[in-house]
Amino acid sequence: GTFFTGEAITEPEAYEFSLAEGLAEALGASLGDPLILMAPTVEGQMNAVDGTVVQTLSVASEALDTRYIFMPLTIAQQLYETEGVSCFRAVLHETDDTDKAIASLQAALPAEQWEVLPWYEVSRLYLRTRNMFEIIFGLVFIIIGLIVTMSVLNTIGMAIIERTREIGTLRAMGMKPPGIVRLFCTESAFLGIAGALVGLLLTLLLSYSVDAAAPTWRPPVSAREVVLEIRRVPEILAGSFLLFVAFTTAAAWFPSHKAARKPIVDALGHV
């Protein structure tokens, strides 16, 4: 989306400024107002340039919201009385291309004149925040996984124990213990497929509902709210589906194996 109001700055030598919304509010500046910028040059002398506020910008960082000023490079060099720049930033289409781009730039630029840094070495705050959320989500996943595991084991185990007399009848009719185990594992597999399908459909319904509602929240140290999204990753959904079916099938093996090895007379008399 567009995160600024006013005109886009396109002329490389125009005396036009873009202010962050917080800075514009602090200065009481509006679109079209004249503005004089003062700063020390690289030699330590005070210098000034004047221009016009043509744009207010919404920045993501709360720390920059009251400090950020955008202007053409030539005007900034004139303000600081220099022909150099402190850094260049390259924006890639795909984050996964970062290391490849870094290697290419390091090979093309002399190391004694240029220091090439990837974004993840510059944005330490982002990495710490992401690691924090990964730990939180990991703990939540472990807790939910334990609850699901105990629920599945208890449900399937109780269902097989309650059908011990049925198992005894099947044994009396000539079915071998391996056949009993296969029968219950197959039944549990179908139950797992049905449960996984219902869970998958509810997950997709919830994610699409969140997309339609488009709730917003403000991340830590952010100057603006962002839309809360639930990413639908096909690999994770498919993996979760298969894992649940496999676990449900495996959960039936031990109780069915134990019940199938029980003497037929004891199984038929089970209460």
Q: For the chain, where are the alpha helices, taking DSSP H only?
A: 21-27, 73-80, 98-108, 119-122, 124-162, 164-172, 177-213, 234-251, 253-260, 264-268
Going from the C-alpha of 133 to that of each of 76, 220, 227, 235, the distances in angstroms are 38, 12, 17, 21
3-state secondary structure of 94: coil
pLDDT of residue 251: 87
pLDDT reported for residue 262: 82
Instruction: Specify the residue for token string 């202007």.
Output: 71
| 48 strand-pairing partners | 38
| Predicted local confidence at residue 54, as pLDDT | 93
The per-residue pLDDT for 33 is 92
Q: Of 4, 9, 85, which Cα lies nearest the Cα of 51?
A: 9
pTM score, two decimals?
Answer: 0.62
Report the pLDDT value the prediction gives residue 270, as an integer from 0 to 100.
Answer: 67
Compute the distance between CA of residue 167 and CA of residue 29 in angstroms, rounded to an integer. 83
Residue stretches of the chain with pLDDT short of 50: none
Give the per-residue pLDDT at 140. Answer: 92
Q: At what angle do helices 253-260 and 124-162 cross, to 10 degrees?
A: 20
